[in-house]
Homo-oligomer: A and B are copies of this chain.
Amino acid sequence: MIGWRARLGFLLPPGNPTVEPEMIGLAPEGVSVHFHRMTARGATGSLEGQDERNRMMVDNIGDSIELLAMVSPDVIVLAHTATSYHLGRQGEADLLRRLEESTGRRVITAFGSVVCALERLNVRRLALGTPYSPEVTAQGKSHLETHGLEVVSCANLQGVTNIYDETAERAYRLARLVDRKDAEAVFLSGTGMPTLPVLQLLEQDLGKPVISSASAMMWHALRLAGVGQSIPGYGRLLSLGCSR
């Protein structure tokens, strides 16, 4: 049976080309990954109009998730970090409760996974790098702070035309840029910017945990689905074993 160990479902922005290859590359034996695009229109991936697109995706998310739930995933991940920034802490909690009720499935967000991951790593002070506009970056910082985390350093990637054209090599430079001595970890936000190929190298070079929306949401989904296997090569978070 496909996904006999676990099936994971991912809801993603329609133009996002990154979530699929990154989740595919992480899935361990017996875990299958399934995808569905949320409803949005316009210049997807650009920094312009992100707010409006976020709103449209949230408005239609009930229909979107219904279709994805038909493949019977153990966990469904809302694979878009900025949605959480957009909704705020309470809005995010309300949305998840509503979706879990309608689907009868466990539903989580990329951002919520990051908060869990930082807690698992005992991190309170972190550096933040994003591919967003300065405004959305500031939203992200403040959203982290409402969860009791201290953002000691923060920057957005320069020269972004479209988030979906960015490379993991540029994400590496961004992490190097935002890191500071007093940061206990570095967090690279955004599921559209590729990060997996450089997380391990960054940890070797910075000597501290480095996580991204991608690594955190896979880690969280696997653990909730009862899959405790260590996945080496993407930083210490995913190489942590069973921890229910």
A: residues with CB less than 8 A from B are 1-5, 7, 14-18, 20-21, 24, 29-30, 32-40, 44, 67-68, 70-72, 164-165, 167, 169, 172-173, 176, 194, 201, 204-207, 226-230, 241-244
- Asked if A32 contacts B3 (CB within 8 A), the reply is no
CB distance from A226 to the nearest CB of B (A): 6
- Can you list 13 A-B pairs, Cβ within 8 angstroms, ordered by A? A2-B17, A2-B164, A4-B169, A5-B169, A17-B34, A17-B72, A21-B32, A35-B35, A35-B36, A205-B227, A207-B228, A207-B242, A207-B244
Contacts of A4 in B (CB 8 A): 169, 172-173
Contacts of A229 in B (CB 8 A): 201, 204-205
Instruction: Name, among A37, A172, A226, the residue most crowded by chain B CB atoms within 10 Å (CB to CB).
Output: A37
CB distance from A6 to the nearest CB of B (A): 9
Which 10 A/B pairs are nearest by Cβ-Cβ distance?
A4-B169, A14-B70, A207-B242, A15-B70, A14-B67, A204-B229, A35-B35, A2-B17, A37-B67, A205-B228
CB distance from A34 to the nearest CB of B (A): 6
By beta carbon, the residue of chain B nearest A69 is B14
Instruction: Name, among A14, A39, A167, A230, the residue most crowded by chain B CB atoms within 10 Å (CB to CB).
Output: A14
- Asked if A169 contacts B1 (CB within 8 A), the reply is yes
User: Given A205-B229, A206-B242, A207-B241, 6 other A-B contacts at CB below 8 A?
Assistant: A14-B36, A38-B67, A39-B67, A204-B227, A204-B228, A205-B227
- Asked if B2 contacts A21 (CB within 8 A), the reply is yes
Q: How far apart are the CA atoms of A38 and B226 in the complex, in Å?
A: 29
CB distance from A75 to the nearest CB of B (A): 14
CB distance from A183 to the nearest CB of B (A): 13
- Asked if A34 contacts B5 (CB within 8 A), the reply is no
- Asked if B35 contacts A242 (CB within 8 A), the reply is no
Q: How far apart are the CA atoms of A71 and B12 in the complex, in Å?
A: 11
Contacts of A72 in B (CB 8 A): 15, 17
By beta carbon, the residue of chain B nearest A167 is B1
CB distance from A178 to the nearest CB of B (A): 13
- Asked if B169 contacts A30 (CB within 8 A), the reply is yes
The listed residue (B17, B169, B205, B230) touching A32 by CB distance below 8 A is B17
